[in-house]
Chains A and B, each alone.
Chain A
Amino acid sequence: MDSKTPSGGPSASADPAIPRTVLSVSQLTLKIKQLVEAAFEFIWITGEISNFKIPASGHAYFTLKDAEAQIAAVMFRGVRRTLRFEPRDGLGVVGLGRISVYPPRGTYQIILEYLEPAGAGALQQAFEALKAKLAAEGLFDVVRKRPLPLLPRKIAVVTSATGAVFHDICHVALRRFPSLAIQLVPTAVQGAAAVEAIVRAIALANRDASAELIIVARGGGSLEDLQAFNSEPVARAIAASSLPVVSAVGHETDYTIADFVADLRAPTPSAAAEIVVPMKSELIGRIHHLVDRLHGRLRARMNLYRARIGEMAARLNVTRRRIDETRLRLDDMAARMVRSLQQRFAYQRQRIRWIEARLLAAHPRQRMARMRERLAAQTDHLVLAHRLFVARRRQGLDPLVARLTALNPLAVLGRGYSITRRLADHCVVSDAGSVAAGTDVEILLARGRLKARVTGKRD
């Protein structure tokens, strides 16, 4: 838009040296707007809030002022929601914004994109310094983090006795594990006395030691409100705690020193209860699952063994069958052997019998019988011949015998004669001189003989 507009008028005569350029209000305002908004696009400003208002739109309107000046300020709804503190009249703040000119009213204001309580920057610096220091000491080291008990029988909650935090924790914890014991260790969580109170509460829970862990909890708040949890004494008390500590301070986006030192950081108190307290039904489920696996595993093993045993038994059966078969074959062979032997024996026996028969047939008995018959015949023949011969001879002999008998000297004996012989030499004594007295003699009579001794003689 061209700022020059043709115009005429006698007023130009007021100072002819100045070119007579006339702007409309809109034109001027636009010029101002462009200048100012370009010059103050990002500025940090500090001042005190006054006249703080939030109309239905949800945007915040207030005045920032100091001793000598003031400026209208706007914070749109979306930005306002990110604030970690509640702005209120009289509060000193530091903000980042840009200057905006509003032509319809001819006003200017600062539109704030960020706002924090005055002094927050210093707090932030202190936070970073303490964080660095404790980190250097190793207080945040992962190795220091203690594991949480799987099933705490009792938990201690270090928090405010008033307020929703303890209630929320109990609500969640008891829903998850109805028979849990919860111990409240009441403490101030903000204000001047908070640091010392929190330190004492943590120590108290450790002295009592009936709980198995501590939840240090606080609801959301401004950086100032959470200040106690960014303090060194609280950090050291947490580090020194024998019981594991879970921090649950502020909102999910808030990180405090306590969170870094704690064994575990929960984003919110309710989340702390969820993390710390196991779901009973889930634990039961896990136990059942383990038992199932235990059973399944053993069953699998048993089935495997059973199958193997069956298989081996089958293989043994095969072997046994083979042994049985062998035994049968052995029997069979033995039987065949015996049979064949018997056959052999029978054959031999038969052969022997046959030879015997032949032998018997060849026996000389018959021959002997025949010979005996022949012998008998010949004997008979011989006897007959002999008898014949004898008879014939006897016929020739008889006259001779009669003659011989007549000549037998002994025949005279019958008529009483006797013959005397010397006994010693059977010499017939026919001369008395041939014997001497005392000679033994024998006298042959017709019947028998006498022994005698010569007792005397006569010649």
Chain B
Amino acid sequence: MAQPSFEAAFKQLEKIVAELESGDPPLETAIRKFEEGMRLARLCSRKLDETEKRISVLMETDDGRVEEHPLRDAEAVKDSES
């Protein structure tokens, strides 16, 4: 199974918390949900860190292909911010 997106994981986490807070599931279910929630929270945290910073420019070549290049100026922009 493909890893869920940050958003899917986050929404699932919110749902689990809401379920735990609103309903009164059997303890085993609650514990299972808790563990699932913790797993999703770790996944979300990991996802937040895994994206890589890149600034690029997207162009169409003369023969109609799509090309993406790193953008130097933008790098400068970002460097000036950090």
Contacts and interface: CB of A to CB of B under 8 A. Distances in A.
Interface of A: 149-151, 153-154, 156, 161, 166-167, 170-171, 174-175, 177-186, 200, 204-205, 207-208, 210, 280, 283-284, 286-287, 290-291, 293-295, 297-298, 301, 305
Contacts of B53: 174, 178-181
Given A167-B77, A298-B31, A153 B51 contact: yes
Contact of B66 (A179, A204, A290): A204
Nearest to B77: A170
A341 B55 CA distance: 105
Interface in B17-44: 17, 20-21, 27, 30-31, 34, 37-38, 41, 44
B57 A161 contact: yes
Nearest to B19: A297
Interface of B is mostly: helix
B58 A149 contact: no
B81 interface: yes
Contact of A166 (B6, B21, B74): B74
Closest 3 CB pairs of A and B: A150-B7, A151-B6, A181-B54
Nearest to A161: B57
A294 B41 contact: yes
Contact of A151 (B48, B59, B82): B48
Contacts of B78: 170, 174
Interface string B50-82: 111111111110000010100100100110011
Contact of A179 (B6, B41, B49, B60): B49
Interface of A is mostly: helix
Nearest to A156: B58
A175 B16 CA distance: 31
B21 A287 contact: no
B51 A297 contact: no
B57 A184 contact: yes
Given A171-B81, A207-B66, A294-B38, A182 B55 contact: yes
Contacts of A208: 58, 66, 68
A183 B81 CA distance: 18
A205 B58 contact: yes
A287 B55 contact: no
Nearest to B30: A301
Contacts of A177: 51
Contacts of B30: 297-298, 301
Contacts of B34: 294-295, 297-298
Nearest to A210: B68
Contacts of A280: 48
Nearest to A149: B7
B66 A294 contact: no
A232 B27 CA distance: 58
